[in-house]
Structure 1
């Protein structure tokens, strides 16, 4: 990355195109406001300054998931929206004038803070998006970064993250980044050609999926409308056309996004304490990815403006930089690649295998409940031994004591955070992208590879559909996977191990090991098995819950999770219940 006198070069954007407006494109008053609240208004990596109220930051972070605009532009929108709706609120130009004069901003921004606070109350409290209520010292944005980079950026378990959804990023050439390591080489042209093919197939799959789902699910729409009318007593209430289109579109996108490559760009916001941020800066600048080295250095420069004492130590570590190469050399020497020869590159079912579990874990969990809650003089070891003598009914009573009366959004007791389950998952990168976010787990993930793939089963269902006279979609999908594998392997042969990890698409499989205590298992199962979740990670969450409850039989039936194998339309149950709740609430008010 180029630097000018210890500053990020103007217009810095990582490997993707610059997101949003450049500084010169903003009006003078807008520049004043942006420079007051952000450390760098002409970069895609920037921190919020100490002048940024926590309420503003929570609002900006909460909007990342469903907005394609930058945090800088959304802040300006906040000022303009509030003054447009409240004549007593200062305009953006008036705010800029006070900043230039060094006046007291806090008092004049009461209306803006109220709007931001209401957003946090609504989504952070009422709707349970707890990460919006997290706080920290370093608050930083990364915009226009690759999907591959996000898993490194979001690695710290202590962090609070909000990432732009893949739904908010159009799959277009301008939203793809070419790794700097291969720019100007023949590999750049090959990656661009592959991306072009991915975009074409993605668009055709999206269109075919939408047509197929609309036709297939018409009876389901009629059944849903019947349920709505029966439960509300309103004979005219039904799912609107626009809402139905959205439900169909969400499912079609879930199918098509299996084609997204790892060099498609996205944006995310991060809140992290300074000590952990320092460690992350070192890690990022020590990775084999040039993109991460550049992002790490840019983040260090920006965060030093806020906390120079700690951030100046977040430098590259030659020790950490050499770990990946050491592991590859040892693997070649001690294991050898011959063992991998002949492995089939084919459609592979999802799997999660329970590798290890704490022996007698239920006795340990039940004992811990009494150990933590009772005024006992016995050791945990003695209590654990005593659990072996209890009847199933007595064991059940202890389990029920921790679940009876618990509301959906109330946390499980920490008394049960003991022992562990170790799962090895083999599933698609798209599902890994979501489940990796369960940072209460301890995780190990293999490098992105092309060892196998998992094409959505719906492709098989409408495989005979052709778009614009092309080959059938299943054949084209397999042809693309073959080209992907060839480019990946050619990059590896050239020693470009990190660059090769940008090549796999979301349908490629990854090996992921996670270690969880019982409470994490229950939290993840309830969250990720919800109807609205994607099919593949729902399946992993359901299977792991079954494994866990086999070892904790006293808790069977006490830990809620959606065990429905599959939903034809994942967003439909949530939409139907929402319509019913809204109508019943309306009837109660009248």
Structure 2
């Protein structure tokens, strides 16, 4: 394998950029809530919703979302009206986990080594970072050699620690599901950070609509699966 240019490790923080959203989404959601209960055209209902004071729109949205006793209590179809597009740069492993969410559009760029790789801090703590990096650099050299003639096949030689760029276009109802599920404490830190950033972006541009997104866990955990494993051990001990 020919030597390659070293590929610097990337910080563990993933990058999520909100590229596109509808600034009129709040009024359109209120219109979608009211529409089934009227005999007016959608355009007429939207005009009424746009003219409502902010406090009345908030009251309608709160009544529609309800108490949400758990993350399984999702808002209704009206929350499928707003759509958001995110550009994401994260490790391939996180992409493969989030790729499984189907009610959205996802499209990635080719797997490569150009964006660097992620080094888990635990490897630094235990003195294992050097052999880890050596293995990734060796794999990167092979991937680059293959890419010269076989760019598609070369993707199979790229370890999951390297980063990939992809886009997600998702409606608000599906974003509730993704952000609340994938930010759960037992999740992997890489995709938890993506879920947290998606929620933070939506809260920034649409705070009223995101108010009901109550089950996004924004905390960091050193041993994210520890509590889940303890519960499993307790369950097995009772069996």
What TM-score do the two structures reach when normalised by structure 2? 0.86
Which one has a bigger Cα radius of gyration?
1
The structure with more helix, counted as a fraction of residues? 1
How many matched pairs?
229
What SS does structure 2 have at the residue aligned with 1:497? coil
Deviation at 1:432, TM superposition (A): 0.7
What SS does structure 2 have at the residue aligned with 1:352? strand
Write the mapping of 1:26-105 to structure 2, written as runs, cut at 5 A. Answer: none
The corresponding residue for 2:188 is 534
The structure with more strand, counted as a fraction of residues? 2
Write the mapping of 1:382-461 to structure 2, written as runs, cut at 5 A. Answer: 382-408=44-70, 409-451=72-114, 452-461=116-125
Determine the C-alpha separation between the residues in 2 that align with 1:542 and 1:407: 20
Q: 1:506 aligned to 129, 139, 160, which one?
A: 160
Change (3 A) 1:551 1:366: farther
Q: 1:356 aligned to 20, 25, 31, which one?
A: 20
Change (3 A) 1:356 1:438: same
What SS does structure 2 have at the residue aligned with 1:501? helix
What SS does structure 2 have at the residue aligned with 1:524? helix
Q: 1:524-545: per-residue Cα shift (whole Å, max 9, x none)? A: 0111111111000000001101
Q: Which runs of 4+ in 1 moved over 6 A?
A: 577-580
What SS does structure 1 have at the residue aligned with 2:168? strand
What TM-score do the two structures reach when normalised by structure 1? 0.37
Gaps (5+ residues) in structure 1?
Answer: 1-189, 191-341, 464-472
Change (3 A) 1:579 1:485: closer
The corresponding residue for 2:221 is 567
Paired residues of 2:143 and 2:157 also in contact (CA < 8 A): yes
The corresponding residue for 2:134 is 479
Q: 1:496 aligned to 150, 161, 184, which one?
A: 150
What is the RMSD of the two structures over their aligned residues, measured on CA atoms? 2.4
Change (3 A) 1:376 1:460: farther
What SS does structure 2 have at the residue aligned with 1:369? helix
Q: 1:403-434: per-residue Cα shift (whole Å, max 9, x none)? A: 21444324431122113100111000111111
Change (3 A) 1:474 1:549: same
Q: 1:548 aligned to 202, 205, 208, which one?
A: 202
Q: 1:470-491: per-residue Cα shift (whole Å, max 9, x none)? A: xxx2222222222122111111
Q: Which has the higher contact order (CA 8 A, sep 6+)?
A: 2
The corresponding residue for 2:8 is 346
Determine the C-alpha separation between the residues in 2 that align with 1:487 and 1:510: 18
Determine the C-alpha separation between the residues in 1 that align with 2:126 and 2:44: 60
Q: 1:56-91: per-residue Cα shift (whole Å, max 9, x none)? A: xxxxxxxxxxxxxxxxxxxxxxxxxxxxxxxxxxxx
Write the mapping of 1:6-405 to structure 2, written as runs, cut at 5 A. Answer: 345-349=7-11, 350-372=14-36, 374-377=37-40, 379-405=41-67
Change (3 A) 1:407 1:513: same
What SS does structure 2 have at the residue aligned with 1:388? helix
Determine the C-alpha separation between the residues in 2 that align with 1:384 and 1:458: 52
Paired residues of 1:453 and 1:508 also in contact (CA < 8 A): yes
Change (3 A) 1:450 1:559: same
Gaps (5+ residues) in structure 2?
Answer: none
Deviation at 1:578, TM superposition (A): 7.3
The corresponding residue for 1:516 is 170
